[in-house]
């Protein structure tokens, strides 16, 4: 199979924008690694997620917790099998209805037409402030 890393990553984002977790998973290798670079405890799925089964659980938890309103990739840089880009996002936190907006940095490694590794870097302080604000709102209700 020929390797077109940028096209694979773009297709992954299209599946994300379509709210299609099964299609998102289809772009990953069976033994893929996802690394969410956040402090331990920042969110339940921070850290390492191994293989498609683990990613399916992670996506199910994410979609149960958040509603994706916007996922817009930009600033692609491709070097061989590595693709890096930013993604503008808007998520609605289902527990409170509050919006989380920002950007993440994604670094993909694509081999033989499948994503074998995805590293995600997010502003930990932004997420921490958002979660603290929402924890207080959830306690009041």
Q: Where are the beta strands (DSSP E) in 6-137?
A: 28-37, 47-50, 66-79, 82-93, 99-111, 114-122
Tens of pLDDT, residue by residue over 80-104, are 999 999 999 999 999 999 999 999 9
Instruction: Please check whether residue 115 is in contact with residue 32, taking contact to mean a CB–CB distance below 8 angstroms.
Output: yes
What's the mean per-residue pLDDT of the chain? 92
Joined together, the tokens standing for residue 44 give 């339940």
The domain ranges of the chain are 5-140
Alpha helix positions (H), 36-123:
51-65
May I ask the CATH architecture of the domain 5-140?
Roll (3.10)
26, pLDDT greater than 80: yes
For residue 126, the tally of other CB atoms under 10 A from its CB is 13
pTM: 0.90
């Amino acid at each position: 199979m020929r390797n077109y890393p940028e096209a694979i990553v773009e297709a992954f984002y299209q599946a994300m924008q379509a709210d299609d977790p099964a299609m998102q998973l289809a772009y990953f290798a069976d033994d893929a690694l996802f690394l969410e670079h956040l402090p331990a405890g920042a969110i339940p799925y921070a850290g390492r997620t191994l293989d498609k089964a683990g990613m399916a659980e992670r996506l199910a938890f994410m979609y149960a917790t958040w509603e994706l309103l916007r996922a817009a990739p930009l600033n692609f840089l491709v070097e061989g099998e590595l693709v890096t880009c930013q993604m503008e996002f808007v998520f609605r936190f289902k527990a409170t209805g509050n919006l989380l907006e920002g950007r993440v940095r994604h670094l993909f490694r694509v081999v033989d037409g499948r994503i074998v590794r995805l590293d995600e870097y997010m502003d930990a302080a932004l997420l921490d402030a958002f979660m603290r604000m929402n924890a207080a709102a959830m306690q009041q209700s």
